[in-house]
Amino acid sequence: MLRRSSALTAAVLSVALWIAGLSIGSANDNLASKATDEETLAWVRSNSNSILLSAWVFAVGCLAFMWFLGIVRGRLAEREGGAGTLSAIMFGAGVAAAAFAMATTGDVPSAISKDDITPATAGALHHLGDLFFVVAELALVAVMVSFAVLVLRTAILPRWWAYVSLLVGVVLVIGPIGWAALIFGTPIWALVTGFMLDRKVGAPATAPVAA
């Protein structure tokens, strides 16, 4: 029962840590969007402790999200049957997205080496996080699409949730608004999915549908 009931716990933990990490970082996020490399390095040196703490808490939230994905994969694989191709794709893409999300905190190396790093390097690392953010978005597309297809095939969750997940995946592909699906859509998706999976505990199982 504990194993079956842990999906929502993992989702809540990951989202709570994400919010905490971002809140810590935003407390001193007063760097101008077009700051020079020298200004960026000065900002990093003044806020190195909060940068490191924020990144660490956020990264632990990403680890909790991997735990959540592992639970979801287990539940979906039971219903999918066969080689479990789609559930494996969902899990692998989700782990990749979480790993890339950890790397969005590009100021961490600068904060660690704040006394030795050059302004040019600090400026480059600061903007490097944008690249990993985009890659995390794209990895989540595979998560949402494979999850939606599995839900439609197996009926493990309501069909409407599959369509909502598919919509999140479509928004993730759209560059100008994809960030919103990652920042807002993904945490909501995790919480609702965890809640509904936990409610399925004890429900009669349906026959698995091979991929």
Q: What is the per-residue pLDDT across 127-140, written as a single tens digit (0 to 9) for each?
A: 888 889 999 999 99
Q: What is the rounded CA–CA span in Å between residue 147 and residue 86?
A: 7
Q: Cα separations (Å) of 210 from 15, 87, 163, 194?
A: 32, 11, 21, 23
Question: So what's the pLDDT on residue 102?
Answer: 92
Do the beta carbons of residue 54 and residue 17 sit within 8 Å? Answer: no
Average pLDDT value over all residues in the chain: 88
Q: Is the pLDDT of residue 209 over 50?
A: no
Confidence grade of residue 201 (pLDDT, cut at 50, 70, 90): low
Q: Is the pLDDT of residue 204 over 50?
A: no
Q: At 102, list the tokens.
A: 């950890």
81 HSE (CA, 13 A, CB side):
11
186-199 helix and 119-154 helix, angle to the nearest 10 degrees? 30
Q: Is the pLDDT of residue 191 over 50?
A: yes
pTM summary value: 0.86
Span 14-25, average pLDDT: 93
Q: What is the per-residue pLDDT across 136-174, written as a single tens digit (0 to 9) for each?
A: 999 999 999 999 999 999 999 999 999 999 999 999 999
